[in-house]
Amino acid sequence: MNSRTVEPQFLEPWRERIEAALLSFLDTELTGVPVELAAPLRYAVLSPGKRIRPLLLMAAHRAAGGSSDRVVDLACSVELVHAYSLVHDDLPCMDDDVLRRGRPTVHVKYGVGPAVMVGAALMPLAVQAILRSAGSIGLDDLTTRRLIASLTAASGATGMVGGQLLDLRAEGRSVGLVELESIHTGKTARLISASVAMGGIAAGADEAEVARLERFGLQLGLAFQAIDDILDLRGDTQKLGKESGRDTALRKATYPGLFGMEEAERISRRLASAAASELAELDESAELRDLAWYIINRSH
């Protein structure tokens, strides 16, 4: 793994479009919402982030032959779900984090009650982002239904929320490789996989192609989480934008925590290589390939 990887050139302009789309979506959807809820919602969503999931959706959309520039509206939906997972993850009853993306966490700044409500408001907003994007992209009702099914399945009990709870339950005890992978699949890989799949669905990909995108997304998500855990352990707080070493403090179930750094790096390389194999099965797409390599090789 490279110690540092140059960011692909297209990422920054794509990110700018994502920021603009998120801002425009919130401006529209939060009209009339009390400021006590609108302010922490904006804070949670618009805090600086890598925007990996919406970038993946957009790149997968192009890889599957899609060409609409407005796919960025759809891409907002997966970032909204991700933002909500971060708000809930940081709560005192979960990881009890005070710093996120370099700023005080939502509950530190606005209180625990509002933070719970922000999390709860983001899921319906994410579904509404899909509904709204259907108009701007020009998606039919069947495609819209498939997108909503993909996002909700990845977000709920069988996906992200289930994984978060498993993660919480695993704190402070020793878990095996299989259980750890199941935690990572739920809390991280399912939403990354859905992001990739949704890009394909919006481009009109058939079931078989969507299934290939999903498999690639799952592997990429697992590699992403393994690298994240390694970075948490050896990273510094400023680079990460969150407290480093928190996993150790909480005795979280992670690869380096369970198997040591050297073995964790071996596992992370294996997962990255599995993701690369799945990628090779997909149609050629410069953006998706560059983005995947960037994610797999990132060191910060």
Footprint on this chain of a copy of itself (rule: CB under 8 A):
29-30, 32-34, 36-38, 41, 84, 88, 91, 93-94, 111-114, 116-117, 119-121, 123-125, 127-128, 131, 134, 140-142, 144-145, 148-149, 151-153, 155-159, 161-162, 164-166, 168-169
The closest alpha carbon to 278, from 181, 160, 192, belongs to 192
Least distance to a copy of itself, CB of residue 167, Å: 10
Q: Considering beta carbons, is residue 45 or 291 the nearer one to a copy of itself?
A: 45
**How far, in whole angstroms, is CA 158 from its chain's centroid?**
16
First-residue to last-residue Cα distance in the chain: 13
The closest alpha carbon to 204, from 71, 76, 56, 10, belongs to 71
Least distance to a copy of itself, CB of residue 239, Å: 28
Least distance to a copy of itself, CB of residue 251, Å: 15
**How many Cα atoms occupy the beta-carbon half-sphere of 84 within 13 Å?**
22
Location of structure tokens 């797409």: 285
Q: Considering beta carbons, is residue 91 or 99 the nearer one to a copy of itself?
A: 91
Q: Considering beta carbons, is residue 84 or 224 the nearer one to a copy of itself?
A: 84
Least distance to a copy of itself, CB of residue 162, Å: 5
**How many Cα atoms occupy the beta-carbon half-sphere of 293 within 13 Å?**
13
User: What string of H, E and C letters represents the secondary structure of 17-62?
Assistant: HHHHHHHHHHHHHCCCCCHHHHHHHHHHHHCCCCCHHHHHHHHHHH
Which residues 6+ apart lie within 8 Å of 77 measured at CB? 126, 127, 129, 130, 133, 147, 151, 198
Q: Report the chain's C-alpha Rg in angstroms.
A: 18
Q: Considering beta carbons, is residue 161 or 274 the nearer one to a copy of itself?
A: 161
Which residues 6+ apart lie within 8 Å of 95 measured at CB? 89, 246, 250
Least distance to a copy of itself, CB of residue 206, Å: 17
Least distance to a copy of itself, CB of residue 84, Å: 7
Least distance to a copy of itself, CB of residue 87, Å: 10
The closest alpha carbon to 130, from 113, 147, 142, 115, belongs to 147
Q: Considering beta carbons, is residue 102 or 156 the nearer one to a copy of itself?
A: 156
Least distance to a copy of itself, CB of residue 259, Å: 23
60 in Cβ contact with 199 (< 8 Å) = yes
Q: How far apart are CA 142 and CA 129, in angstroms?
A: 16
Q: Considering beta carbons, is residue 186 or 257 the nearer one to a copy of itself?
A: 186
Q: Considering beta carbons, is residue 45 or 288 the nearer one to a copy of itself?
A: 45
Instruction: State which amino acid sits at residue 174.
Output: S
